[in-house]
Amino acid sequence: MERKRIAIIGLGLIGGSLAIRLHEKKISSRLIGMDANPEHEAKALELELVDEILPLDEAIQQSDVIILAMPVDKMTGLLPKILDKVDQQIVLDLGSTKSQLVEAVRNHPKRGRYVATHPMWGTEYSGPAAAVRNAFENKAVIICNEEESDEDAVQWTKIMYSKIGMHLLQMEASAHDLHAAYVSHISHITSFALANTVLEKEREDSAIFGLASAGFESTVRLAKSNPAMWVPIFLQNKVNVLDVLNEHIEQLKKFRDKIQDGSEDELKKLIEQANQIRRIIK
Amino acid sequence: MERKRIAIIGLGLIGGSLAIRLHEKKISSRLIGMDANPEHEAKALELELVDEILPLDEAIQQSDVIILAMPVDKMTGLLPKILDKVDQQIVLDLGSTKSQLVEAVRNHPKRGRYVATHPMWGTEYSGPAAAVRNAFENKAVIICNEEESDEDAVQWTKIMYSKIGMHLLQMEASAHDLHAAYVSHISHITSFALANTVLEKEREDSAIFGLASAGFESTVRLAKSNPAMWVPIFLQNKVNVLDVLNEHIEQLKKFRDKIQDGSEDELKKLIEQANQIRRIIK
């Protein structure tokens, strides 16, 4: 694959980690960066995540590929404006919701140049300093509505993701948002809510600190995640997120009621049912 | 410290992992095992977790220390019977709840020989085959109501836990159960309920399997935990568990309501509040 000049708009955890990977895998001949936050731009240069920072218009002109890696609300506003300005460049996004974005450019004359993707990787940290090596490896990436994208754009995107070690899945944007609510968005809500529960109930930090087991850390670690990223995800995927969140509250109430009643057998059944997750998570 | 003959009653994940550690650290001169499940006994011998299997009475007679590592409901029944039979042996338990156990032997003439402990370590797997090396290391162990135990028994217990790399905390049994509800028991309930939510809503296993991110795995992994261990914990610690579970449901409803209303700023506040968990979890 011929190396390309790649612009990354949004130099946080995801954009920064992808920049490292594109360079490592010799996919980029040049990496141009841009971020709404000048401190992130400076940090990305200092960390050599990108070769240079350029204003948006110049970044678009001087690139073969433009990658959007910013909060999804910002993306929905920016994507049509970027498509207004592209000629034959490929534009792709790494956002965690897909329906609104795909909808925002459905009738855009340059729609074909855009590929909607969601690489299923992240950590609970944010900003360019959180960028890590070997990100994305062995994780899934979902490409949505690929029939709406030009073939060359889809092909390059698929090869790029394969080269950085991801396995490809195709899905409609609406199906993506539904599944993402189940296997990613709800986990963040439960983790945020668990942190608030413990911080609310447990006034002695030292008790939490001293006693917190690996299990607690594991269920609560996502609570460190960035609101700028997650608020727009929950709101853009509102219908699916509310649906799964309501179901989750019902499931918790089942546990509450069975504990309240001291129903040993019923509790055992609920836990055995939950144990079925072993089918899915090794 | 002089090596001791140690009997471990209950040869699952916890008892088995402790057996490995006691041998490694040259704390035991001989390890005697016993389990209600003969298959666990056979497996523990096969894996050389213990030197021999003996019936309970003989195990008590031939040991200097007797360690209980079974589900907490079984423990509450068995502990008084063991104390009936001990002379100068030290008896300690590794259970996840402490109030009922301490209560069960409060007026026992041999109460002093018993030390109530909770090493804060575990995994989501169970049985002797799940036992691992280097368990317990760098984790906290709580010793409860130590003023009710004989000094020599407490001293040996503390040295043993220090040798296997744990840091010691002292607490009343009731305080232990309160804190454990916050930093361990609730995590298991949220994880079980999350697994049930996803298994209920997401009928396509392949979708979960393909998409499940590290975040999802992290919040749901405890859902693989064993009902035989967890049902008795939730029931023995019912009051505290219900209290924290009700608070958790309220916290989830706050997220639901703010998402429903599209209250960007309020959602941001809830998440920023949750981010405070960074104070506690590195």
pLDDT in tens, chain A (282 residues): 899 999 999 999 999 999 999 999 999 999 999 999 999 999 999 999 999 999 999 999 999 999 999 999 999 999 999 999 999 999 999 999 999 999 999 999 999 999 999 999 999 999 999 999 999 999 999 999 999 999 999 999 999 999 999 999 999 999 999 999 998 999 999 999 999 999 987 776 676 667 777 788 889 999 999 999 999 999 999 999 999 999 999 999 999 999 999 999 999 999 999 999 988 887
Phi-psi domain of B225 (left: phi exceeds 0; alpha: psi -120 through 50; beta: other) = beta
CATH of the domain at A64: 3.40.50.720
> Does residue B231 share a domain with residue B271?
yes
Q: Which of A122, A140, A201 sits opposite B247 (nearest CB)?
A: A201
Q: Which H or E element spans position A65? A: strand A65-68
Helix axes B186-201, A264-275, angle to 10 degrees: 60
Which contiguous run of DSSP H or E holds residue A167?
strand A167-171
How many structural domains are present in chain A?
A: 2
**Hey, are the CB atoms on A184 and B235 less than 8 Å from each other?**
no
**Same domain, yes or no, for B136 and B260?**
no
Same domain, B58 and B194: no
Give which of B128, B126, B103, B107 is closest to B53, Cα–Cα: B128
What chain B residue is nearest to A281 in terms of C-alpha separation?
B217
Query: Which residue type does B217 have?
Result: E
B34 and B122 part of one domain: yes
Contact A49, A11 (CB under 8 A): yes
Give the pairing of strands B114-119 and B28-34.
Answer: unpaired
Phi, psi of B220 (to 5 degrees): -110, -5
Contacts of B220 in chain A (CB under 8 A): 187, 277, 281
pLDDT of residue A215: 83
Q: Which of B120, B179, B216 sits opposite A187 (nearest CB)?
A: B216
Contact B274 A192 (CB under 8 A): yes
**C-beta of residue B7 within 8 angstroms of C-beta of residue B33:** yes
User: Of A172, A191, A220, which one is at a domain's C-terminal end?
Assistant: A172
Contact B256 A262 (CB under 8 A): no
Answer whether B215 sits within 8 Å of A262, measured CB to CB: no
With CB atoms and an 8 Å threshold, state whether B244 touches A215. no
**Tens digit of each residue's pLDDT, chain B (282 residues):** 899 999 999 999 999 999 999 999 999 999 999 999 999 999 999 999 999 999 999 999 999 999 999 999 999 999 999 999 999 999 999 999 999 999 999 999 999 999 999 999 999 999 999 999 999 999 999 999 999 999 999 999 999 999 999 999 999 999 999 999 998 999 999 999 999 999 987 776 676 667 777 788 889 999 999 999 999 999 999 999 999 999 999 999 999 999 999 999 999 999 999 999 988 887
Residue at a domain's end among A115, A137, A172: A172
A122 reaches B (C-beta below 8 A): yes
| Domain shared by B154 and B272, yes or no | no
Contact B184 A213 (CB under 8 A): yes
Integer Cα distance of A205 and B281 in angstroms: 10
Interface touch B274/A191, C-beta < 8 Å? yes
A239 inside 8 A of chain B by CB: no
Amino acid in the structure at residue A233: I
Residue B249 touches chain A, beta carbons under 8 Å: yes
Q: What is the ipTM of this complex?
A: 0.92
Choose the closest CB to B216 out of A183, A215, A235: A183
For residue A185, give its domain range: 176-279
Whether residue B78 contacts residue B165, with contact meaning beta carbons closer than 8 Å, is answered with no
**Does the beta-carbon distance from A268 to B213 stay under 8 Å?**
no
Check A183 against B207: CB less than 8 A apart.
yes
Residues A245 and A159 in one domain: no
Based on the number of CB atoms within 10 Å of its own CB, is B133 exposed (0-12), middle (13-18) or buried (19 or more)?
Answer: exposed
The answer to whether the CB atoms of A192 and B255 lie below 8 A apart is yes
Q: Answer yes or no: do B163 and B196 share one domain.
A: no
CA B65 to chain centre: 19
SS3 B44: helix
Residues A19 and A44 in one domain: yes
How many A×B Cβ pairs under 8 Å?
A: 313
Q: Give the tokens for residue A4.
A: 């390309």
For A266, the enclosing helix (H) or strand (E) is helix A264-275
Interface test with A, best of B132, B187, B235 (most A CBs within 10 A): B187
Residues B43 and B119 reside in one and the same domain: yes
Beta-carbon separation of A260 and B267 below 8 A: no
Taking the Cβ of residue A260 and every Cβ of chain B, the question of whether any pair is shorter than 8 Å is answered with yes
B264 → chain A, closest CA residue: A231
* Predicted confidence (pLDDT) per residue in B76-97, tens digit: 999 999 999 999 999 999 999 9
Q: Considering only CB atoms, which chain A residues are within 8 Å of B281?
A: 212, 216-217, 220-221, 224
> Using the 8-state DSSP alphabet, how is residue B10 labeled?
-
Q: Are residues B18 and B152 in the same domain?
A: yes
Is the CA virtual torsion B27, B30, B35, B38 positive or negative?
positive
User: What is the b/e burial string over B179-199, where b = at least 16 CB atoms within 10 angstroms of the residue's CB?
Assistant: bbbbbbbbbbbbbbbbbbbbb
Whether residue A119 is found in the same domain as residue A219: no
Q: Look at the block and give the residue holding tokens 């109430």.
A: A253
Contact with chain B for residue A215, Cβ under 8 A: yes
**Residues B123 and B189 placed together within one structural domain of the fold:** no
Q: Which amino acid is at A33?
A: G
Crossing angle of the two packed helices B264-275 and B238-261, in degrees rounded to 10: 140
Q: Does B263 touch chain A (CB under 8 A)?
A: no
Rounded Cα distance, B128 and B42, in Å:
10
Calpha distance A81→A150 (Å, rounded):
19
B184/A211 Cβ within 8 A:
yes
Q: Is A132 on the interface with B (CB under 8 A)?
A: no
- Which pTM was predicted? 0.92
Are A207 and B179 in contact (CB < 8 Å)? yes
User: Number of helices and strands (H, E) in chain A?
Assistant: 13, 8
Helix, strand, coil abundance in chain A, percent, nearest 5: 60, 15, 25
Helices and strands counted in chain B (H then E): 13, 8
**Which of B143, B186, B192, B273 is the best residue to mutate to test the A interface, defined by the most A CB atoms within 10 Å of its own CB?**
B192
Contact criterion met (CB < 8 Å) for B192 and A280: no
Contact B173, B134 (CB under 8 A): no
* DSSP 8-state symbol, B128: G
Q: What is the CATH number of the domain that holds A249?
A: 1.10.3660.10
> Please, which residues have CB within 8 angstroms of residue B156's CB and are 6 or more apart in sequence?
B1, B4, B65, B90
Q: What is the pLDDT of residues B33-76, one digit of tens each?
A: 999 999 999 999 999 999 999 999 999 999 999 999 999 999 99
Find the closest chain B residue to A198 by CA distance: B182
Q: How far is CA B127 from the centre of its chain?
A: 14
> Per the CB < 8 Å rule, is B140 touching A210?
yes
- Out of A137, A154, A172, a domain closes at A172
Distance from CA of A31 to the nearest CA of B (A): 27
Q: Enumerate the residues of chain B whose CB falls inside 8 A of the CB of residue A278.
A: 224
pLDDT given for residue A205 in this prediction = 65
Query: Which residues from chain A sit within 8 angstroms of residue B243, using beta carbons?
Result: 201
